[in-house]
Amino acid sequence: MAENSDSEAAAISQHALSYRPASINGEFLGKHIISVDQFQRRDLDILFDAAAAIRKRIRTHDRGLTELCAGKVMASLFFEASTRTDMSFQSAMRRLGGDVIAVSNGVRFSSMYKGENLSDTIRATGCYADVIVLRHPEIGSSYEAGYYLDLLNGRIDNPTVAISGGDGIGEHPTQALLDIFTIFDQKKSLDNLAITLVGDLKHGRTVHSLAKLIAYYDASGVRLCMVAPESLAMPADITDLVEAHGIRVTQTEDLRDVIAETDVIYWTRIQEERFADGAEYDGIKDRFIMTPAVMARAKADAILMHPLPRKHEMGTRSDHDILDADPRSIYFEQMENGMFVRMALLVKVLRGVYV
Of 160, 142, 165, the C-alpha closest to 74 is 160
Q: Which of 258, 224, 255 is nearest to 241 (CA)?
A: 224
Which candidate in 57, 172, 205, 351 is catalytic? 172
CB 258 within 8 A of CB 196: yes
Q: One symbol per residue from 174 to 193: x for binding ligand ASP (CB under 6 A), - otherwise; what is it?
A: --------------------
Q: Is residue 142 near ligand ASP by the rule CB under 6 A?
A: no
- CA-to-CA distance for 338 and 42, rounded, in angstroms? 20
Rg from Cα positions in the chain: 20
203 is catalytic: no
Residue 57, interface with ligand ASP (CB under 6 A)? Answer: no
Identity of the residue, 17 or 81, whose beta carbon is nearer to ligand ASP in the bound complex: 81
84 is catalytic: yes
Q: Which of 339, 355, 20, 353 is nearest to 181 (CA)?
A: 339
Q: Is 205 in the site for ligand ASP (CB under 6 A)?
A: yes
Nearer to ligand ASP, 75 or 178 (CB): 178
199 touching ligand ASP, by CB under 6 A: no
Of the candidates 114, 248, 256, 311, the residue annotated as catalytic is 114
Q: How many residues form the binding site for ligand ASP (CB under 6 A)?
A: 6
Catalytic residue (choose from 135, 203, 342, 348): 135
Tell me how far, at minimum, the Cβ of 87 lies from ligand ASP, in Å.
Answer: 12
User: What are the C-alpha distances in Å from 49 to residues 44, 94, 106, 195, 284?
Assistant: 8, 21, 34, 23, 41
Identify which of residues 82 and 117 has a Cβ nearer to ligand ASP in the complex. Answer: 82
Closest CA to 343 of 153, 122, 107, 58: 58
Task: Give exposure, 95-118, as e/b (b: 16+ Cβ within 10 Å).
Answer: bbbbebebbbebbeebebeeebbb
State yes or no: is 85 an active-site residue.
Answer: yes
Annotated catalytic residue 56? no
Q: Which residues pair with 203 in a beta bridge?
A: none
**Which helix (H) or strand (E) covers residue 225, if one does?**
strand 223-227
The reply to whether 166 sits near ligand ASP by the rule CB under 6 A is yes
Of 286, 285, 269, 284, the C-alpha closest to 331 is: 269
Closest distance to ligand ASP from the beta carbon of 139 (Å): 13
Rounded to 5°, angle at Cα 307 from 87 and 37: 90
168: left (phi over 0), alpha (psi -120 to 50) or beta: left
- 206 touching ligand ASP, by CB under 6 A: yes
Is 114 designated active site? yes
Asked if 168 touches ligand ASP (CB under 6 A), the answer is no
Counting contacts by CB under 6 A, is residue 269 touching ligand ASP? Answer: yes
Given 31, 32, 72, 84, the catalytic residue: 84
Of 104, 70, 67, 73, nearest to 87 (Cα)? Answer: 104
Smallest gap from residue 172 Cβ to ligand ASP (A):
5
**How many other C-beta atoms are found inside a 10 Å radius of the C-beta of residue 248?**
12
* Residues numbered 293-352 forming contacts with ligand ASP, rule: CB under 6 A: 307
**Which run of H or of E encompasses 54?**
helix 41-59
- For CA atoms 73, 168, 249, 227, give the dihedral sign: positive
Nearer to ligand ASP, 173 or 307 (CB): 307
Quick one: 307 or 315, whose CB is closer to ligand ASP? 307
Q: Which CB, 32 or 205, lies closer to ligand ASP? A: 205
- Cβ nearer to ligand ASP, comparing 222 with 335: 335
- Contact between 172 and ligand ASP by CB under 6 A: the answer reads yes
Interacting residue ranges for ligand ASP, rule: CB under 6 A: 166, 172, 205-206, 269, 307
Active-site residue set: 84-85, 114, 135, 172
